[in-house]
Each structure stands twice: as C-alpha cells, then as structure tokens.
Amino acid sequence: MIRLSTAQSGFEAEFRALLDQARDTTAQVDAAVASIIAEVKRGGDAALLDLTTRFDRWTPEGGAAGLRVPASEIDAAQARCAPELLDALDLAATRIERFHAAQLPNDVELDDTLGLTLGMRWGAIDAAGIYVPGGKAAYPSSVLMNAIPARVAGVGRIAMAVPTPDGVLNDLVLAAAHRAGVTEIWRVGGAQAIAALAWGTDSIHPVDRVAGPGNAYVAEAKRQVFGRVGIDSIAGPSEVVVLADASQNPALIAIDLLAQAEHDESAQAILITTSAQMAHAVEHAVADHLATLPRAAIAGASWDKHGAIIVVRDWEEGAALVDRLAPEHLEVMVADPQALFARVRHAGAAFLGAHCPEALGDYVAGPNHVLPTGRTARFASGLSVFDFLKRTTWISAEKRGLDAIGPAAVALAEAEGLTAHARSIAMRLGQG
Amino acid sequence: MIRLSTAQSGFEAEFRALLDQARDTTAQVDAAVASIIAEVKRGGDAALLDLTTRFDRWTPEGGAAGLRVPASEIDAAQARCAPELLDALDLAATRIERFHAAQLPNDVELDDTLGLTLGMRWGAIDAAGIYVPGGKAAYPSSVLMNAIPARVAGVGRIAMAVPTPDGVLNDLVLAAAHRAGVTEIWRVGGAQAIAALAWGTDSIHPVDRVAGPGNAYVAEAKRQVFGRVGIDSIAGPSEVVVLADASQNPALIAIDLLAQAEHDESAQAILITTSAQMAHAVEHAVADHLATLPRAAIAGASWDKHGAIIVVRDWEEGAALVDRLAPEHLEVMVADPQALFARVRHAGAAFLGAHCPEALGDYVAGPNHVLPTGRTARFASGLSVFDFLKRTTWISAEKRGLDAIGPAAVALAEAEGLTAHARSIAMRLGQG
C-alpha cells in the first residue's frame, strides 16, 4: 500500500506510477487460443469433446449431446439449493430486471418539412452466448448480471457455456441460469467454448454476441472471434476508489476496500480522503479486519501490492484524480455525495452515501456488476441492454424531398468521383 | 453474377455458398502492424516522422510540429473549394447534426419504495480520434460522418489523422473537417496514426476512442489497440441488398446496384425480387449502365464476382433471406416499403421507397453512412452518438433501503465465499 498526498512534492510522479502500475498478469496465450479455435472450427463437436476431456478432465456420456445440461438436472440442482438463497437470487433477479428494463431506449422518428422522414429502430440480436467461469470462481450473481440484460433486451435464445472441471457443476449457478431465463446450458469452457459459440458446431448453434468474464484463454478467445460475433469488453482485475471525508466510519471504509481486494491479488483498492486523520484510521482498520477475514491472504496481498491512500486538499483535486483513474467502482462517502458525483466524469458505477457499499451493487441493487476496468471507463460502459440491441437507421423520401436535397448529394458524389452514386440520384431528379 | 430462385432445387446450397463467399481480401499484416505500433510507442514523434517518410514519401518541415495542419492551411483549402460544394457540405453537415442530436439518450433515474434510488448517467468521452483515409479514397463525406457524431455527443477534443501521400491533401477533406468541428488535424496515416492516437506521442495527445475506415493496416492496428482505447467496428467491403417488386423501374434498380459495386471489386450488390421479369430487366439495365459508367471496370468486376439476382416466391421468403444476409444497406422498393421493412430484423440502414437511393444516405439525408458490413448487422450498428458516449450507473440508499435488500446480498456473498463483501453489508445492517 502506498500513501500519497497531493500536498507533497513528487506527488505527480508517484500518482503516474500508480496509474501505470501493471496489474494485469495475463499470460501470452494468443497462439494456444488460435490453435484451440482452429481445432473447434475444424473438428466441431468431436473437438469440443476432446478439449473438454483434456482441460476439464471430464467426458460426457453419450457424446456431444451430453454436453448439454438437461432440464431434469437443473430442477434437481434447484431443489438442492437452500430456500433463502433461492429467495435472495429471486430478489436480485427481479431488481436487475427492473433496472435493465428502464434502460430500454426509444426509437427515433424525425420528419422534416422538406418531405423526408428519418428514423432509427432498435432491435434485439437473435442469440446471445453467456460465458460463466466454472470451478472456484463459480458466481451465480454473474449469471444473473450477464443473462438478464440479454433477456430484457428481447433476445430469444440465450446459450450459456460453463466449464465443469472434473464434472463438478455449482447448483446455485444452475438455479441462477434458470431464473435469469437462459435457454440452453453447455458444460464447456475456455477458448473452446468461445469458439463453439462464435462458429457453431453440430450441437451448439452459433450466437451473435458473446458476453461474460473468464480467464486469459477466454479473454483472448473473445478478442480473436471479435468481428465474427460481437463481444463485451475484456475485463481486467477489479478495482474500487472510495472517496471519504472526515465524518465517515473508518471501519466501514476499510471493509469496503477489502471487499474489493479479496477478489484476487491483482485487484486494486484506493482511498481518497480530505482527512489525514481518516487516512491513518482506515489504515489501522484495514489491519484489524485482515486479522479476522477468511480471505486475508488474497486481500492482504492485493492491498500490499496495489492499495493506496491518497490525501487531497479538497474535492476538486479528488474529483480530478478520480477522472484520471476512471475506476470500475466509485464509492462516494461524503456529506453531499450527489454533488461530488456530479463533478466526476469517468467511473463505471458509483455508490453514493454511507449506506451503499459496493457489495450491495454486486448482488441485489439492480445495476449491472459487469463494469469497465483498467481505466477503460474513460470510454466503455457496464453491461446493459445496449450490449444485446442493435440499431437500424432508415430514410424515407417523397419525390419533393429527393428534389430538395438530391442535388447536393450529386455534387458531393461527383467530387468524390463516384459517378454511379451521382447518377442514381440524378436519374431520379429528372423523373416526375 | 449469379441468378438464384427459391423455387429451384439446390437453392439452399447456392444461397449458403453466397453467404460464405469470402469477399474480404485482407492481407495478413498482424506482425507488420505490431512492429509499427511498438515503434511508435518506443520512438514517439521521431518514429512517426520516420514512418511517414517511409510510407507516405513525405517529411514535414520543422519536425513533428509540421505534422499538424495549421489553421491558415485549412482556411486556404476552404477558399479553394467551389462554393456549391461548400454549400452541399453544409447542407449535409446540418442534416447529419440534426439526426444525430435526435439520437441523444436520456438519463435514467428510478426510485423504489424501499428507499433506494438507482440511476444511469450518460457522458461524453474526453477525446476522439477520427481516421480518414488519404490518397485516392479521400472522402469528405466520411469526415462529416465520423466527426459529427462525436461533436454532437459532446466530445471536446476531436483529433483527425489523415495520411498525405507525397504530401498531397484534399481541400474538400480539410473543409469538411473544419465544418464538422474537428479540433486538430494530423498528417499521419496507417497503423502509425492509430498507434499515435491510442498511445500518444509528445505532439499528439492520446484519445479515448478511435473511429474511421482504413486499409488492412489501419483495421489491424485498431484491433491491436482495442482495450487501450475504444474502437468502432472494423469495416469490410461494402454491400447492398435491393428488394424490388414488379412495379419498379429496372434502370433505377440497376444504377443503385452499380453505385454499390463501384466502391471496389470486393463490394457486393444483390437484387431480391418477386418478379422473374424484373430480374431479367435489371440484368440488362446493368449491362447498359456499364457501357457508359466511368468506373465500369471496378463496378463490372464487383458485379461479375459478387453480384446476385434472387427471385423469391413472396416477401416472406424475401425478408428471411435479408435477415440471413444482414446487409449493410437495404433498399426497399415495393408498394408498401414500411410494411416490408417491419418484417426485416437485420440490416445496417434501410432506404424506403423509389425516391430513396442509397447514395442519398451516403451524403446528405442525415443518418450515418458508417455501417456494419459482412453480416455483422446481426449484432452491430452504424456509427452514432453512442460510439462517443459512455454510461455510469449509480446507486443511492437510505438506511431502510439497505436494511430491506442487504440481507439477500449477504446471503449471496456468503454463498460465493466472498466474506468481506458480506461483512461490508452486515456491519452496516447493525448500525442505526
């Protein structure tokens, strides 16, 4: 953990070093992934079975059909879940549905007096692929966050791929998929899952867009199939910036920082505060929590390597630092959080006030927890219905509309040397 | 050109072959591009100058500062343009601005009775990079179409990069950049331009998102900087599908097909018609036009290699074929174009009725002409203000809101083994 203060000389250099700190330890797997994708394109289902045996140490009975999880297995998994967990999932799903429905955009239709009508129509993609990591990082909340936006957008087919290392599949993940409206579940993971979703096999029909987090192989595979299908952004290690003034409870700030740090050692938690006293208090509170947290080894390593406490002179400085960090998550724990949030331009998601820890948004609040990392909130956004919608613009013209604006188009087409373009309009201008 | 009919046996196989036809002749330039990007990252301005000398056979006076086009040169270029062309540019720009302003989305704010407020706030990126091809494919219309959405979105800094082979720069391109609101123009092209925009040099500050068409090097460079900055989709060869019934004028349909074909030999123009007679008439009209078109060599080669005329039994069949083609451009020249358009799900942009040739949309109608190619309209959309906006979601909770939904979040966090997440909420539940 580093301690910085904007009042110190040398701050700018230290802050830049923090910005440039490489946290993403992604292995170079380009060639391995290219070869896996080629294998799936060539071998289809047989390649999927081979790769699943090789990487997940598991082979389905009955060939490729056995990769699909049957409804009976989903029902059985759900029956094994604790009722209070199913209730929690349902509350989360209901709230996520409601928030994402509020995102649904309106079509545009624009008449002008010249005799032209212009429009923009939103439509859902036909099929979405949702990748869900398996094994130790099997997160039912992630299933809800990835699948619900697709369903709310109106996507008819939602195919989920989840690896089942050694054949093990998480009951709550299946229950979440069912609640979220996933229409098919495939026990396949890694680059081979992304390849199958993008290119299709005899069993798995290709989808139009792939979303969801994954390891380095999954991320690289998404990069390689980009263009063939749409992809969501490629997630890096998670991060939070907490803004806190002197009036806050340091123990709460400390646990919020550690909730971020416990994800993995590459995660980053940063406190920006106007109070040097609060900086000290939070540092001690972090140490206190670490003494009792089950994931203290991970959280402690993240805090040591990537954590930071920055003391600023005022919130103008603080907001400017936030914009340079463009954090995935931003907690604003100050007297007037809305006012300070209004001064920030770049953040994936914000959590306003003392009663709003980021974990609330990770699970049940409603907004998506799939968010831009690694300073990409400068230009990227969290997962939403927009990831599963596309637009078609349209133009309709009466003859008088063509007559009004056609000559300008002819002039520009001729200037660009595109004479068939010019002629396609000129021929119509002459006609009644 | 191939002639297909859904009534013939073997149609499905032939249509599939048409769908799978490789039109993109993109060279494998991955390694060359990676090395250019590395050169710019390492060498900055000096590397840009070297690469510009090497690829564009041109070196600015006064070092890297000479890469920037001064205001005086823009003014002089504009003064050399024909007034009627400047008027045409202005009409186009005004209409493009108006249409894109109509796209601007609303923020979301959602109160629930439990004591939580959820929101989604749109904001512009800070800086956009616009790539404009130079030399033979210098299209002022493309400058308007790429830069205006950024400005309408509220982007404060718009940096344009345009190569000037042998030092030559198109006057109308400069005039278009000025009209569109580009804030800086750099005479640099290829992968080196994309690298400079993404990573920055001493002279060129990095941007947050890069848009604009380019050759294979530019496309691959965009792919390689994706993640560091946002990119628009990677454009392939252009295409049009024209739907026409028996009542249309075959000479107009033919020129619309050729307006697409004249872009380059990889372009594709397809007619789908319910009338075998129309199919024949259009085929002859294409031949007639080709006898007199200046770009007949290119348009003829495109039509020969990739053109198609498909006769369908009814528009239900026709609409289904359109969805499988998911064309960049769709002309709907039938009695009730809106009704048929409503049955189509996948197209980049539609042009409805006999008075609405695609070329109208290429220049002056208002919607964007940067559109998804190569069947990507299944999931991708044309360039718009959305390419230059991003969203921040936010959550605000009263204590009673946290109390209402917090326990469910605690249950899910514990199920996922994320105990600091659980504790960050549980600690707050206990407090007044």
User: Above pLDDT 90, what percent of chain A?
Assistant: 89
Residue B163 pLDDT grade (very low, low, confident, very high; cuts 50, 70, 90): very high
- Is the CB of B26 inside 8 Å of chain A's CB atoms? no
pLDDT at B308: 98
Catalytic, A329? Answer: yes
- B62 CA to chain A: closest CA distance, Å? 31
Q: Do A30-231 and A2-24+236-366 fall under one CATH topology?
A: yes
Instruction: Say if strands B268-273 and B308-311 run parallel, antiparallel, or are unpaired.
Output: parallel
Q: Is A215 annotated as a binding residue?
A: yes
- DSSP SS3 for B190: helix
- Give the CATH architecture of domain A2-24+236-366: 3-Layer(aba) Sandwich (3.40)
Please name the residues in contact with A318: beta carbons below 8 A apart, sequence gap of 6 or more.
A243, A272, A274, A312, A340
- A8 CA to chain B: closest CA distance, Å? 26
Q: Quick check: B118 and A366 CB within 8 A? A: yes
* From A125-134, A233-242, A267-276, A346-355, the region with the lowest mean pLDDT: A233-242
pLDDT at B223: 87
What ipTM was predicted for this assembly?
A: 0.95
Neighbours of A418 (CB within 10 A): 22
pLDDT at A363: 97
Q: Quick check: A427 and B255 CB within 8 A? A: yes
Q: What is the mean pLDDT of residues A125-133?
A: 96
Q: Is A421 annotated as a binding residue?
A: yes
How many whole angstroms separate alpha carbon B152 and alpha carbon B105?
Answer: 12
How many whole angstroms separate alpha carbon B143 and alpha carbon B102?
Answer: 20
Q: Is A263 annotated as a binding residue?
A: yes
Which of B91, B172, B352 lies closest to A408 in CB terms?
Answer: B91
Decide if A105 contacts A391 (C-beta within 8 A): no
Q: Which residue has the tokens 């090789």?
A: A54
**pLDDT surpasses 80 at A431:** no
- Is the CB of B337 inside 8 Å of chain A's CB atoms? yes
Nearest to A145 by CA among A330, A365, A346: A365
User: Facing residues of A360 across strands?
Assistant: none
Which of A353, A396, A428 lies closest to B352 in CB terms?
Answer: A396
Show which of residues 104-133 on chain B sit within 8 Å of chain A, judged by CB atoms. Answer: 105, 108, 110, 112, 116, 118, 120, 123, 125-126
Q: Which residues of B touch A393 (CB under 8 A)?
A: 348-350, 367-368, 382
- On the CB side of B359, CA atoms within 13 Å amount to 37
**pLDDT surpasses 90 at B344:** yes
- A348 CA to chain B: closest CA distance, Å? 5
**pLDDT surpasses 60 at A432:** no
How many whole angstroms separate alpha carbon A197 and alpha carbon A203?
Answer: 10
Burial of B317 (0-12, 13-18, 19+ CB in 10 A): middle
- On the CB side of B369, CA atoms within 13 Å amount to 27
**pLDDT surpasses 70 at B130:** yes
Tokens of A67: 């990769």
Which of B223, B352, B378 lies closest to A394 in CB terms?
Answer: B352
**pLDDT surpasses 60 at A260:** yes
Which of B125, B223, B262 lies closest to A379 in CB terms?
Answer: B125
Tokens of B290: 């080709």
pLDDT at A233: 80
- Is the CB of A200 inside 8 Å of chain B's CB atoms? no
Q: For B260-303, what is each residue's pLDDT tens digit?
A: 999 999 999 999 999 999 999 999 999 999 999 999 999 999 99
Nearest to A97 by CA among A139, A151, A140, A172: A151
- Is the CB of B171 inside 8 Å of chain A's CB atoms? no
- Give the CATH architecture of domain B30-231: 3-Layer(aba) Sandwich (3.40)
- Is the CB of B300 inside 8 Å of chain A's CB atoms? no
Nearest to B148 by CA among B160, B136, B134: B160
Catalytic, A355? Answer: no
**pLDDT surpasses 80 at A33:** yes
At B270, give phi and psi (nearest 5°).
-130, 130
How many whole angstroms separate alpha carbon B122 and alpha carbon A103?
Answer: 11
**pLDDT surpasses 90 at A125:** yes
pLDDT at B432: 46
Which of B355, B368, B386 to mutate against chain A (most A CBs within 10 Å)?
B355
Q: E strands within A235-372?
A: 239-244, 268-273, 308-311, 329-333, 349-352
- B180 CA to chain A: closest CA distance, Å? 15
Q: For A183-242, what is each residue's pLDDT tens digit?
A: 999 999 999 999 999 999 999 999 999 999 888 899 999 989 988 999 988 788 899 999
Q: Which residues of B touch A158 (CB under 8 A)?
A: none
Q: Quick check: B126 and A378 CB within 8 A? A: yes
Nearest to A404 by CA among B94, B141, B349: B94
Of B329, B331, B358, B369, which residue is the catalytic one? Answer: B329
Domain ranges across chain B: 2-24+236-366, 30-231, 398-429
